[in-house]
Structure 1
Amino acid sequence: MPKIYHQDLRDSAVNHWQKTGNKSQTARLFEINRNTLNDWIKLYQAQGHTKPKPFAPVGVKHIITDLIAFEDYVKSQEFDTAKQLREQYLKDHPGVSTEF
């Protein structure tokens, strides 16, 4: 997992590189890997800032997006098993997909 660096460090390192034009010296001064500095410079040149790209979640998409509404639905229904609840919920909410 990549190390998380503080935004001030990112900005300071890129600003120093802009002033000096020396990536190796900047990386040594800020005690960061040269590849890390290169990534920050690319971000700065592409986006105009060094903020990391937003996190894009991976994995299973959640079927239930409004938990409070779902809890209210469960309380209002009569069922004996989770399978019965699932079947009734899918009948009442035809737009919900269980495909992954």
Structure 2
Amino acid sequence: MPKIHSTDFRNKVMEHYKISLHKSDTCKRFGVSRTTLNDWIRLEENTGFLDQPKIISGRPFLIKDLKSFKMFYESTTFKKLKDLIPLFEQKFGYSISYSSLLYTIRKLKLSKKKDFC
């Protein structure tokens, strides 16, 4: 797993590089690899700053508005989860698969079973 350096450290390394204009010396002095320094130089050229990129982990939700979905799920009566798919498509205007619906319900820690008499 790559080491994530703080923004302050990145700024110090880049300041030294801008003064010396010598990549090898900068890498040896601060203990970073040449590819890391090249990535930081490219990042600063493209974005103008050296903030750490946000790392998004996990699979994204296919349901766009989770709060609305949770309210919809709790207020809708159904017997099987498969019955919820056409109701979802009618309410939100886009289709969703059974597995995506099940995945979202598990992640939101909602009950899969609803017993209505």
Query: TM-score range, shorter-chain basis?
Result: 0.7 to 0.9
CA distance in 1, matches of 2:34, 2:86: 55
Q: Who is 1:83 aligned against?
A: 82
Output the TM-score relative to the length of structure 2. Answer: 0.68
| Structure 1 residues 97 and 61: CA distance shift in structure 2, 3 A | farther
Would you say the 8 A contact 1:79–1:85 is kept in 2?
Answer: yes
The alpha carbon displacement at 1:61 in A equals: 4.9
Map of 1:33 onto structure 2: 33
Cα shift at 1:54: 4.7
Q: Is the 8 A contact 2:11 2:50 kept in 1?
A: yes
TM-score, with structure 1 as normaliser: 0.77
* Residue 66 (structure 1) shift: 2.2
CA contact (8 A) 1:90 1:96 kept: yes
Match of 1:71 in 2: 70
AA partner of residue 30 (structure 1): F
SS in 2 for 1:78: coil
Give the distance between the partners of 1:21 and 1:85, measured in 2 at CA. 62
* Contact 1:7–1:50 under 8 Å retained in 2: yes
Q: Which amino acid aligns with 1:22?
A: H
Q: By how many angstroms is 1:12 displaced?
A: 0.6
Q: Sequence identity, in percent?
A: 32
Aligned twin of 1:18: 18
Q: CA offset at residue 53 of structure 1? A: 4.3
Unaligned runs of 5+ in 2: 98-117
Task: Work out whether residues 63 and 96 of structure 1, in 8 Å CA contact, stay in contact via their aligned partners in 2.
Answer: no
Q: Give 2:71's aligned amino acid.
A: D
